[in-house]
Amino acid sequence: MLHSPRLRWRTAFSYAVVIGLILLGLALYLARALDVSFGQVAVPVGVAGLLIVSLMVFQAERAAATVRRLTEVVERIGGGDLDARIRSFSSGEIGQLARAFNRMADKLQKEMEKRARQKDRLNTVLYALTDGVLIVNRHGDVRLLNPAAERLLHTKAEHALDRSVTQAVRDHRIVEVYSRCVQSGQEEVAMLELEGGRVLRVVATPYLKGRQRGHVLILQDLTRLHQLQTVRQDFISNISHELRTPLASLRALVDTLADGALDDPPAAQRFLQRMAIEVDALAQMTEELFELARIESGQAPLRLRAMPAADVIGLGAERLRPQAERANLTLQIDLSGDLPEVVVDPDRVQQVVTNLLHNAIKFTPAGGTIRVSACAEANAGEILVTVQDTGAGIAPDDLPRIFERFYKADRARSSGGAGLGLAIAKHIVQAHGGRIWVESTPGKGSTFCFSLPRAAGD
């Protein structure tokens, strides 16, 4: 308690008493030795003693002040002020102590700043990761989780930190992976299918040993990858189906011709016509696939210009009127003459309309109705085009994937086409900055909608 003035003065008084007794004895000794009176010796000895006591008090106060400053700096550093230092000009041991303490504080500050930079880099990496990360201590409590983990686990940091793994993740399958890692002391991996169709890869691995040991849980959302794998598998299945049918027909026709049908000119002519139809189907599928690849890769630039919306949409719809009439369908084209102009590539937009109409004609039974209409959205900067039919409709499970290339709903398996028309329509609309979607009720028909940007000023 060197900072207590009362204690300091008690200490100084004690020293003064001791020194006074020593000086009194010294004065008595000198008086006897020099054979002089005590008064003659007492004055100079008293003056010398006073100087000595003053010097000692001064030195003690300097040392105490340095120690007090040292105590204050220690408390400031302990409170987080790493810039605090002792200012001491003393050349004695106390001064050496102060300078040594300053050097120690400098090293401590550099080490703390280094650790802070490392922590910042770690936090930056963790917070930028799309994979969820949980760090669990040796007691099984969550000490850290990043935003990706909060999103994947549908939780918040305040609800998970310092809680057990079970309380934090709230999924027994993830807890089982963690428990296996704790028991085996080795990395454990599992693939989990969560509700909503999400696919999660869970990796649990131990880190460090002894009292600092813990575990890291990594959560990887592989839903998109799983969907892409499903699309790839469906693509292979669909393209195989689409190729198998015409190739099998061609093979049968060639075999029939080789077996003697060539000797019957009318029959040979019919077989050749059938072969031409199958070859045309293969050529159309190849052309559509090539077209889709060009659109997706941006190698099919749009030739944009402002045109009346009714002209662009109406021309594309009229092209399919003869086909609709042959199928005994009623095609209604409801396009107001006061529709605003749109900024589009007319050939591409007409391709969208014909693809949607062709799809509607294919799945609408005889006697049905197909209606093409458009309207301008107020203050939306776009127009909406709809193609509505009274056909078979689309099952709810098929709706999310109806615009994927080569994807065919069960109702389309026996129909012609390669399943590329809707995929091409989607990419053309998106290239124009528009949207495309479908609403459908099985047994009651479907409504395909897409938007187009209006011309400036309209």
- Digit-by-digit pLDDT tens for the chain (458 residues) are 444 555 555 655 666 666 666 766 666 666 666 666 666 666 676 677 677 767 766 766 666 776 777 788 778 877 777 777 777 656 667 677 777 888 888 888 888 888 888 878 877 777 878 899 999 998 899 988 889 999 888 889 888 889 999 999 988 999 999 999 999 989 999 999 887 778 899 999 998 776 778 999 999 999 888 887 877 777 777 777 777 777 888 888 888 888 777 777 888 888 888 888 788 778 877 777 777 777 777 767 788 889 899 999 999 899 999 989 989 999 999 988 788 889 999 999 999 999 999 889 988 999 999 999 999 876 678 899 999 999 888 888 888 888 877 666 654 444 555 677 888 899 999 988 899 999 998 888 999 999 998 887 65
Cβ atoms of 26 and 52 closer than 8 Å: no
Is there a domain that residue 111 lies in?
A: no
399 and 384 together in one domain: yes
Is there a domain that residue 357 lies in?
A: yes
Confidence (pLDDT) at 261:
72
Is there a domain that residue 363 lies in?
A: yes
Confidence (pLDDT) at 3:
47
Confidence (pLDDT) at 224:
85
- Where residue 153 falls (left for φ over 0; alpha for ψ -120 to 50; beta otherwise) is alpha
417 and 368 together in one domain: yes
The CATH number that applies at residue 419 is 3.30.565.10
Is there a domain that residue 234 lies in?
A: no
Confidence (pLDDT) at 1:
42
The last residue of one of the domains, among 281, 296, 311, is 296
Is there a domain that residue 364 lies in?
A: yes
Confidence (pLDDT) at 413:
44
254 and 283 together in one domain: yes
Residues in CB range of 374: below 8 A, 6 or more apart: 309, 310, 313, 335, 336, 339, 383, 384, 385, 386
357 and 434 together in one domain: yes
316 and 421 together in one domain: yes
Cβ atoms of 140 and 163 closer than 8 Å: no
The CATH number that applies at residue 292 is 1.10.287.130
How many domains does the chain divide into? Answer: 4
The CATH number that applies at residue 175 is 3.30.450.20
Residues in CB range of 259: below 8 A, 6 or more apart: none
209 and 289 together in one domain: no
The last residue of one of the domains, among 66, 84, 102, is 84
Confidence (pLDDT) at 164:
92
278 and 314 together in one domain: no
Unique residue bearing structure tokens 């078979």: 392
Is there a domain that residue 306 lies in?
A: yes
Unique residue bearing structure tokens 């983990």: 149
367 and 400 together in one domain: yes
449 and 307 together in one domain: yes
Strands 330-334 and 369-376: parallel
Confidence (pLDDT) at 19:
67
287 and 308 together in one domain: no
> Cα separation of 38 and 47, whole Å?
14
211 and 264 together in one domain: no
219 and 287 together in one domain: no
Q: For residue 438, give its domain range.
A: 302-453
Is there a domain that residue 370 lies in?
A: yes
> Cα separation of 344 and 374, whole Å?
15
Is there a domain that residue 245 lies in?
A: yes
Burial class (CB in 10 A: 0-12, 13-18, 19+), 167: middle
What is the pTM for the complete model shown? Answer: 0.51
The last residue of one of the domains, among 252, 279, 296, is 296
